[in-house]
Amino acid sequence: MKSLTRTLAICAVLVAAALPGLAAEPDYSAWTGLLQKYYSPQNGMDYQGIRKNDFATLKKLVDDWAKVDVSKLSRDEQLAFWINLYNVSTVKLICDNYPTKSIRDLSTDPIVRLNVFKKEIVPQGGKMMSLNDVENDKIRAGFKIPGFTLRSTARRAAARRCAPRRSSARK
């Protein structure tokens, strides 16, 4: 009886330890809060405001989402995660380099000005990846979405008056 109780206790501990990682969708509330506070369709994203008042929140999002085990998310949750991670990483990149007129101004290639999307600035799963990796490998190829693009959104997002998209995280 004693060994059965001990076995059940060990199993309970193992199950409890595994539960937080099972289908644990990332907490998007801080990202939604930032969007609701600093984004408006009329004025676009207030990068200066984020940088001045909530940069620590933005950095914590990037740090927290770097630890997400994407493989434990449902397919829809994975797509939402990659889109949100791309958007948060783009906003952080712009805030890191604010003021800037265009995200393309952060490129080191003076002609094409697109290598900013190839810089490994997105931490996820213990490695660094680029915005291109997220868009092309994780979203477009991973979900078989031909013609899907986040890059044009990112270019507009670097301008204070970016095109209206949404004021909440994707789910």
Q: Give me the average pLDDT of each 10-residue run along the chain (171 residues).
A: 38 38 78 94 92 97 97 95 94 94 85 86 97 92 78 48 55 71
- C-alpha torsion angle, residues 29, 34, 40, 44 (rounded to 10): -130
Does the predicted model carry a pTM greater than 0.75? yes
Tokens of 170: 């994707």
CA atoms within 13 A of residue 43's CA, in its CB half-sphere: 11
pLDDT at 112: 75
3-class DSSP assignment, residue 132 = helix
Q: What is the DSSP letter of 148?
A: -
pLDDT of residue 150: 67
